[in-house]
């Protein structure tokens, strides 16, 4: 600053401390002129280490939510969609761009959700989470079974700011359970038929 006589603005600049540790700072350096010559500089430092750490955490959480295998929907206090992650788009067939700003109930058109909605509202009004299972027909016509959790987010004053819905696609598991039950029924029928045939033989 002194050599060039110009202001210097630097962000995310490391400042090494006497103990060997360092801080991340924002620096603003301004030249001081006397009789047309730069005779010194006024320098402002701001420690942005905590701010930088919070920003890194924010970016990490954003990546986790975006790449999570669970379906995630975040709505505002009035139920308007603010965010859906890639798993939500992939499994239910919606595009995030066409959902943001719309009521969250728009995603529930194909759900058997009407009878459970009162329970959800009741739980949220008490500040409690709701968990349950429901089915949905996607935009591609595929029937999916979702295990879901819906819970409220409050600010420091206790006011509802957001509602978060998280779901897991358990369609394949349910299909395997149904196949197992069917196989068990067929086995029981086979055993019964063999027993009856044996009695007839006697």
Q: What is the pLDDT of residue 91?
A: 79
- For every residue of the chain, DSSP letters joined together read -TTTTS-EEEEEEEEE-TTS-EEEEEEEEEEEEETTEEEEEEEEEEE-HHHHHHHHHHHHHHHHHHH-SSEEEEEETTSBEEEE-HHHHHHH---HHHHTTSBGGGGGTTBS-HHHHHHHHHHHHTT--EEEEEEEE-TTS-EEEEEEEEEEEE-TTS-EEEEEEEEEE-HHHHHHHHHHHHHHHHHHHHHHHHHHHHHHH-
Q: What number is the average pLDDT over the span 165-173? A: 77
196 against 75, higher pLDDT = 75
Q: With 70 as the cut, is the pLDDT of residue 192 above it? A: no
Q: What is the pLDDT of residue 163?
A: 92
- CA–CA dist 127, 43 (Å, integer): 49
- 91-116 pLDDT per residue, tens: 777 788 888 888 887 766 555 555 67
Tokens of 185: 């029924």
Beta bridge partners of 144: 136
Q: For 22, phi and psi rounded to 5 degrees?
A: -140, 155
Task: Give me the residues paired with residue 145 across strands.
Answer: 135
pLDDT of residue 18: 93
**Mean pLDDT (whole number) for 158-179:** 77
What pLDDT score does 187 carry?
Answer: 67
Q: What is the mean pLDDT of residues 12-21?
A: 89
The tokens for 155 are 């600010």
By the 8 A CB rule, do 75 and 107 touch?
no
**Separation of alpha carbons 199 and 72, rounded Å:** 58
* Mean pLDDT (whole number) for 131-152: 76
Considering the chain, what is the average pLDDT of its residues?
Answer: 82
For position 49, what pLDDT does the model report?
86
């Amino acid at each position: 600053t002194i050599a060039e006589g110009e202001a210097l603005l630097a962000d995310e600049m490391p400042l090494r401390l006497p103990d060997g540790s360092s801080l991340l700072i924002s620096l603003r350096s301004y030249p001081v002129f006397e009789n047309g010559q730069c005779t010194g500089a006024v320098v402002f430092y701001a420690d942005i280490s905590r701010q930088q750490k919070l920003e890194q955490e924010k970016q990490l959480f954003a990546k986790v939510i975006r790449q999570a295998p669970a379906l995630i929907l975040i709505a505002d206090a009035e139920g308007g969609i603010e965010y859906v992650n890639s798993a939500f788009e992939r499994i239910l067939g919606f595009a995030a761009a066409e959902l943001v700003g719309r009521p969250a109930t728009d995603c529930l058109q194909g759900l058997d959700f009407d009878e459970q909605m009162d329970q959800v509202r009741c739980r949220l009004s008490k500040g409690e989470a709701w968990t349950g299972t429901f089915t949905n027909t996607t935009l591609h016509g595929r029937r999916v079974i979702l295990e879901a959790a819906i819970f409220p987010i409050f600010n420091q004053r206790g006011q509802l700011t957001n509602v978060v819905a998280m779901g897991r696609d358990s369609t394949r598991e349910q299909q395997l359970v149904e196949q197992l039950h069917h196989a068990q029924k067929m086995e029981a029928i086979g055993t019964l038929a063999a027993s009856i045939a044996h009695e007839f033989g006697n």
